[in-house]
Chains A and B, each alone.
Chain A
Amino acid sequence: MTATLLDPLESDVKGIAELASESIVILDPAGIIRYWNPAAERLFGWPALAVCGTDGAQLSPAPGDEANAWSQLLQEGAWEGRVRRRTRDGDVRVARIRRHLRYDGAGTLRDVVEYARAEPEAPGWTGAHDPVPDRSMAASWEIDVAPAADILARLAPRAPGADTSERDELLHGLVNAAQIVEVNDRTARLVGGNRGRALMAGQSVAAFWPLESRTILADLILEARADRECRSVQRRLASDGILRDPLVTVWRAGDDRPDRLFVAVDGVADDDRSYLYLRASEARYRKLIHYMPVALWQVDASHMGKIYAELRSRGVTDFAGHLDDHPELVEFAAASVPVTDVNRCAIELVGGASVQDLIRPVGYLFAESPESLRRVMIGRFSGRKNYSEYMKIRALDGRLLDVRFSVTYPEPLLELDTTIFSLEDVTERLRIETELRQLQADFSHAARISTLGELTSSIAHEVNQPLAAIMTNAETSLRWLARDEPDIGKVAQLTTRIATSARRADDIVRRIRSMAVKQAPEPVPIALNDVVQESLLFVRHEIETRGIRVTTSYARRVPKIVGDRIQLQQVIVNLLINAAQAVEASCEADREIHIATTAGSKGEAVLTLRDRGPGIDPDHLGQIFDGFFTTKPQGMGIGLAICRSIVAAHGGGVSASNHPEGGAEFRVRLPPARQAS
């Protein structure tokens, strides 16, 4: 069955159209008839078989009318009116029809759907008493001239031509004061930018009316108001770049509302094809914007552009300074720059229910961060192409969000004065970054504690030595004092020793505490030699009791570095422990670690630490600094990774190699402190 070849839904729709009493015809973009339902067969007298695949315009006795209707349809996306069609018998049928364009998912014109009903008689196309000949065709306005009452009073008694310049000024004032009550879609599309109908309401007519024909409009308003019979008055305008030969018609809304007037502008868009192309690309653009996975705000800051141009012409160059003196300009922008469109993501981001929630002056975006708006304005004034920063916004449901705000400014020479804001919610990212930083700090702390863990017995030993001395000295003192002739001199000597040992114990405890305590790194100028000596204090005992010799050679002119003492100690202690473990199993002659400090060729401070152990497996050389890489069964593999990250944080580098004479060599390079002294 061929029917099965149809999409089930499509076949359903077709089925319904087959049953419809209204004539339904589908034409492709070239005007070829693709579908012709039974009601169309009855209405126009042609069987579907005979007309499908032929040009629909050929059925018209007046192809010119048809072409005109077609081009208007392409311009407007819909068309309503009367058409005449020849029947098979040679008669002419007149039908009242509606045509709509349909687009596919990509925004490309797919076809034209035409609905038609029989028009019992064919009345002449007069239009003279038809207030709006075809509302969908004309750009129609309802305006209120009540706010211009003063101007009207001054204009009424004058004779035309009395004082041209003064009269012109009054006519301009009239259009300026007249307010828009409502407009149709076509008007909004032609002159409203992206504001939409609702946002044009209440605004001055002059804001949307071409400057060169404002006096004509004002004249027509005066004429229409003066006409007692409420007839319409018309005037043809010069082409204005939007419409070709536009005809403007003005008439009173009714006797009871003398200040309300209707204005209709009829005309053909200058280039049908480009208009169609524009429509299609606009539809594509809208879809693109709408489904873009980024929150977008379309903003019309054109009036601000004019203010900036004026300020520039007045010689303002320091705009930031100007804003300091005129903070009200920022407030004015917040309250007056309208959002003209937003996409789905934007609504989601701020938790709105619909587009309407977000279509208001931009101020709400900057309520939490007014300084950001100021910077956005400065960016535009200074002619930047774009600007972005991190800021906080308050969502409509009260959440405080961290966003990356970006703005793309309109190109100064382009007519389309549309500014695009994009907001990216980085709340989660910032939270993760904070957590990562915390994790890193904890990680580094854990590494430090694990270093300490390896040193516990050494620490206990180190603290116990002075404690043992203190205890024994104190008890010996008591024995001297308990004698028949107390030896005060001896007691004084012992007490001095007690104090010395107590200080030593205190030093050790302090050192351990500084290493174990979590604290933010404190960069200070340090001598590398000192850091090496302090690190050795920490581990020397531990290393030497394993029968390992530590030899040192300190260069005198090692440049000062800037860094955190504790962190650098940790690097050296780590490298020392690694070296100690590497040589532990070696024969006694090879149990040696050599530490040297030198000045590098580029003025950096260099520390080399060499052992006489088995060296590093060449396969591992490239990865030993990676986190969690370890060759030790108990190792965490974080020691060297931490070393590298600490050295990198100090602006230096650490490398490992095998010495030609055997054993591993680690080299730490640290940049010199900036010369201040």
Chain B
Amino acid sequence: MPTVAIVDDDEAVREALGDLLMVSGLACECFEGAAEFLAALRVRQFDCLVTDIRMPGMSGIDLIERLRDERAELPVIVLSSVLDEATRSHALAIGAQAWLTKPVTDEHLLGALAQAIASSGSSSKR
């Protein structure tokens, strides 16, 4: 079962996303900050990352940049309430697969996840 990592500083959002992925047949693990996620990443494998942008400590953009440098193969979906176009294009330019704004419909999110996981699968096979 593909495992999705969720990084969001808001607990209510994390819980809601976790439950949605569970009912949709996806395994998921939630992190309240980028640092916690990076720590877990040393010992674990994830098929996709859903991350917020504005967070205390390391921001979503910083996190994507770190991943691009280290593990380019992990697909990243940004799920944020940031509407700033510059930040959005920056995120996409450095490798984010999708940019979704909160609040997001389940179809949208699950669609983007399916696509990301498929791409991750194909890349790992290669």
Interface residues of A, Cβ cutoff 8 Å to B = 457, 460-461, 464-473, 475-476, 479-480, 490, 494, 497, 500-501, 504, 541, 544-545, 547
Contact = CB atoms under 8 A, between A and B. Distances in A.
Interface stretch (B7-15, B69-77, B88-96, B118-126): B7-15
B73 to A, nearest CB: 27
Contact of A479 (B23, B56, B57, B102): B23
B123 to A, nearest CB: 28
A479 B22 CA distance: 11
A177 to B, nearest CB: 97
Given A457-B82, A460-B83, A480-B23, A469 B56 contact: no
A91 to B, nearest CB: 118
Dominant SS among interface residues on chain B: loop
Contacts of A476: 16, 19-20, 23, 106
Contacts of A494: 16, 19
Contacts of B66: none
B15 A545 contact: no
A470 B56 contact: no
B44 to A, nearest CB: 24
Contacts of B104: 468, 471-472
Contacts of B56: 544-545, 547
A468 B102 contact: yes
A472 B103 contact: yes
A308 B23 CA distance: 97
A504 B54 CA distance: 19
A547 B19 CA distance: 29
Contacts of A469: 10, 12-13, 15-16
Contacts of A466: 12
30 contacts: A457-B83, A457-B84, A460-B81, A460-B83, A464-B81, A464-B103, A465-B10, A466-B12, A467-B102, A467-B103, A468-B10, A468-B13, A468-B16, A468-B79, A468-B104, A469-B10, A469-B15, A470-B103, A472-B16, A472-B20, A473-B19, A475-B20, A476-B19, A476-B23, A479-B20, A497-B15, A497-B16, A500-B12, A504-B12, A545-B54
B15 A479 contact: no
Contacts of B59: 545, 547
A464 B12 CA distance: 11
B55 interface: yes
Contacts of B13: 465, 468-469, 472
A19 to B, nearest CB: 98
A501 B84 CA distance: 25
Nearest to B83: A460
Given A467-B102, A472-B106, A476-B106, 13 more contacts: A461-B81, A464-B81, A468-B79, A468-B102, A472-B16, A472-B17, A472-B20, A476-B23, A479-B20, A479-B23, A479-B106, A501-B16, A547-B59
A547 B54 CA distance: 10
A119 B82 CA distance: 113
A542 to B, nearest CB: 9
A255 B15 CA distance: 122
Contacts of B20: 472, 475-476, 479
Contacts of B10: 465, 468-469
A461 B23 contact: no
Contacts of B16: 468-470, 472-473, 476, 494, 497, 501
Interface in B12-48: 12-13, 15-17, 19-20, 23-24
A465 B102 contact: yes
B104 to A, nearest CB: 7
B20 to A, nearest CB: 4
A479 B23 CA distance: 7
A645 B33 CA distance: 40
A196 B12 CA distance: 91
Contacts of A461: 54, 81-82
Contacts of B81: 460-461, 464-465, 468
A464 B23 contact: no
A652 to B, nearest CB: 32
Contacts of B57: 547
A501 B15 CA distance: 11
A475 B106 contact: yes
Contacts of B17: 472
B33 to A, nearest CB: 11
Sorted nearest first, the 5 A-B pairs with minimum C-beta distance are A464-B81, A468-B102, A472-B16, A544-B56, A469-B12
Contacts of B105: 471, 475
A490 B109 CA distance: 21
Q: Among the interface residues A475, A480, A497, A504, which one has the most CB atoms of the partner chain B within 10 A?
A: A475
Nearest to A464: B81
Contact of B102 (A464, A475, A504): A464
B61 to A, nearest CB: 11
Nearest to A466: B12
A500 B16 CA distance: 12
A547 to B, nearest CB: 7
Contacts of A545: 54-56, 59
Contacts of B19: 472-473, 476, 490, 494
A527 B46 CA distance: 48
Nearest to A544: B56
Given A457-B82, A547-B56, A497 B106 contact: no
B68 to A, nearest CB: 20
A330 B1 CA distance: 99
Interface in B51-67: 54-57, 59
Contacts of A470: 16, 103
A501 B14 CA distance: 12
B35 to A, nearest CB: 12
Q: Which residue, A460, A472, A476, A479, has most C-beta atoms of chain B within 10 A?
A: A472
Contact of A501 (B12, B23, B55, B109): B12
A546 to B, nearest CB: 9
Contacts of B24: 479
Contacts of A544: 56
Contacts of A500: 12
Contacts of A468: 10, 13, 16, 79, 81, 102-104
A468 B105 CA distance: 9
A472 B109 CA distance: 10
A20 to B, nearest CB: 98
Point out which of B103, B106, B109 has the most chain A C-beta atoms below 10 A from its C-beta: B103
B42 to A, nearest CB: 22
A469 B109 CA distance: 13
Contacts of B82: 457, 461
Contacts of A504: 12
Nearest to A462: B81
Contacts of B54: 461, 541, 545
A471 B83 contact: no
B82 to A, nearest CB: 7
A174 to B, nearest CB: 102
Nearest to B15: A497
A457 to B, nearest CB: 7
Nearest to B20: A476
A460 B13 CA distance: 15
Residue among B15, B79, B84 with most chain A CB within 10 A: B15
